[in-house]
Amino acid sequence: MKDLKPGMVLTGTVRNVIDFGVFVDIGVHQDGLVHISQVSQKFIKHPSEVVSVGDIVQVVVLEVDEKKKRIGLSMKQVPKA
């Protein structure tokens, strides 16, 4: 987690899809959370409209809270190639 910095673009695997967001395995000991507001550019009622467990996704790191062991991620802020 120490190596993660806001703005980093990473590839991860969707581990869980819940009402308020998506948990993504980005290769560290703690999964990151993509809040529902950061999943898509368009309004969605549930993250399952966009992703499923096992999907490979690009995410950008928004924040890292080592004390609470939380990693905030975004899918909609990933720079377009």
Q: Is residue 34 part of a domain?
A: yes
81 pLDDT more than 80: no
Total number of domains in the chain: 1
Q: What is the CATH number of the domain that holds 26?
A: 2.40.50.140
Q: Is residue 59 part of a domain?
A: yes
**Domain of 25?**
9-74
Say if CB 45 and CB 32 are below 8 A apart. Answer: no
Which residues 6+ apart lie within 8 Å of 81 measured at CB? Answer: none
2 pLDDT more than 90: no
pLDDT tens track for 11-61: 999 999 999 999 999 999 999 999 999 999 999 999 999 999 999 999 999
Q: Is residue 32 part of a domain?
A: yes
**Gap between the Cα atoms of 76 and 60, Å rounded:** 8
CA proximity to 52, closest of 9, 22, 26: 22
Beta-ladder partners of 77? none
Q: Is the model's pTM score more than 0.85?
A: yes
Q: Is residue 58 part of a domain?
A: yes
Say if CB 69 and CB 30 are below 8 A apart. Answer: yes
